[in-house]
Amino acid sequence: MAEMIYGFVVSDQPVEYYLQFAKNNGLAHLEVDLYKDHSLLESWLPKRIDNLKRKSQEFGVKLSIHPPYTLNLGDKIKTVAKAQVELLKKSIELARKLDAQFVTTYIGSVNNQKGLAAARKQALGHAIDNLEDVLEFCEKNKMRLALENTNLMPKDSELFYLGDNLKDFELVFSKLKSPLLNFCLDLGHAHVNEGISKYIDKFGPKIINVHFHDNNGKTDDHLNLGDGNIKWKQVMKAFQKIGFSGPFLSETKDSPAQSKRKLLEYLI
């Protein structure tokens, strides 16, 4: 099995701030969250792009891009959905310019309403249609796209995420056969839904990215490893079984270096 790759999702500071830290701690992958003020799409001027591309290569750190989690490819308003598609395409274009490895994104969301089941089905259909367009753009830019499983919202929530269950992804992957369409397994989200092992068993060959954090199996708390009840030894054994070596990207409250050390303790 290849050497494990570890890193983290960048949020608090601009990605440039973490390059030396990543190199010093053997963190070989940084995922840039485009929702943060310091990383909005408008901030990526040519000079910044060129500097980050050069420095990431210099420090031996790979990059990936995560568009805003508010992105909604399933919006029923066509003009809004079109804008969302363009946002995702610009994120893909940015990833290409940075020589990033892939783009990770949520599928979308649907408002809580009467007839929710029908509304979810409709929204997922819109998302699949829009993803077909996006994947053509991925092909032109030679960029992989990873769909992330989302967290389960409370029953009285104003909205629910698409992709908060296995069936949504089964439908998406059955409709869209592009080899550029892959899966980002968020372990914390899976743990509060159907369970991590079911996602690995179902989508193992599609997984190209993993977000890791702990919780109690009820709420998406982004706890440090060991502070929840995820069975990490079993999880890491399952990844070893399918030959997945990373990147494993931390979303815990710990320092990313500490999260890496804790995760390494669970390797068998």
Residues 181-212 have pLDDT tens digits of 999 999 999 999 999 999 999 999 999 999 99
As a whole number of angstroms, the distance between CA 128 and CA 132 comes to: 6
Residues 137-154 have pLDDT tens digits of 999 999 999 999 999 998
> What's the rounded mean pLDDT across residues 114-122?
93
The pLDDT score that the predictor gives to residue 199 is 98
Q: What is the pTM of this model?
A: 0.96
**Which residues in 107-129 are b (16+ Cβ under 10 Å) and which e?**
bbbbeeeeeeeebbeebbebbbb
Q: Mean pLDDT in the chain?
A: 96
> So where are the chain's domains?
6-265
Assigned CATH topology for domain 6-265: TIM Barrel (3.20.20)
Closest CA to 66 of 98, 21, 18, 106: 106
Closest CA to 27 of 255, 214, 267: 255
Residues 210-245 have pLDDT tens digits of 999 999 999 999 999 999 999 999 999 999 999 999
User: Token pair 């992709």 is at which residue?
Assistant: 163
Instruction: Answer whether residue 2 shows pLDDT above 80.
Output: no
Neighbours of 231 (CB within 10 A): 13
